[in-house]
Amino acid sequence: MKKVLLLLISSILFINGAYAKSIEDELREFSKREYPNDSRMQQYTYKKQISAYNYIIQVKDSEVKDIAYRAYPYDYAMQKYTYDKQTAAKRYMSLVKDKELIDFSIRQYPFDYAMQKYTFDKQTSAKSYMGSVLNKNAKSQSVRKYPYDYAMQKYTYEKLAF
């Protein structure tokens, strides 16, 4: 029993060590591809990638982690950046209250929280603008043409009214 346990533990340690080495090698190769003629930038990029890799393997939100991985499968620094941006946008979208604009934003970008946030903010601004316009005829035409998209209503209104 002790031999089996010892063999199992040593196998796990060997596999983990081999995997860690392959990640280091992968990141060195990545750095060399990015900066083939600049060893200082290779070293900088390598350190940045290692740091980002260590961050990414510990993140909690697997849905957002998948978004970041799909966007940048070989670049851990960009995965980290994307993860942080998407996580902040996801948190923001969980706090906003306008259901109509939330639903619109999700329909437009179902798998991208950053774009949902951008769309939500743009729609919120345009909705406010459309609530304050004076030319009722231009407003009516704009709403008829784009009943659910306040940004396009605003764009159309401005073309008609000015």
3-state class (DSSP) for residue 104: helix
pLDDT at 3 over 70: no
Place of tokens 């591809």: 33
For residue 129, what pLDDT is reported? Answer: 98
- Nearest residue to 59 (alpha-carbon basis) of 74, 48, 69, 49: 69
Among the ranges given (15-29, 93-107, 113-127), the one the predictor scored with the smallest mean pLDDT = 15-29
Neighbours of 147 (CB within 10 A): 10
For the chain, give the mean pLDDT: 92
Mean pLDDT of 120-146: 98
pLDDT at 95 over 80: yes
For residue 52, what pLDDT is reported? Answer: 98
Find all residues with CB under 8 Å of 80, minimum gap 6, and list them: 52, 55, 56, 68
pLDDT at 9 over 70: no
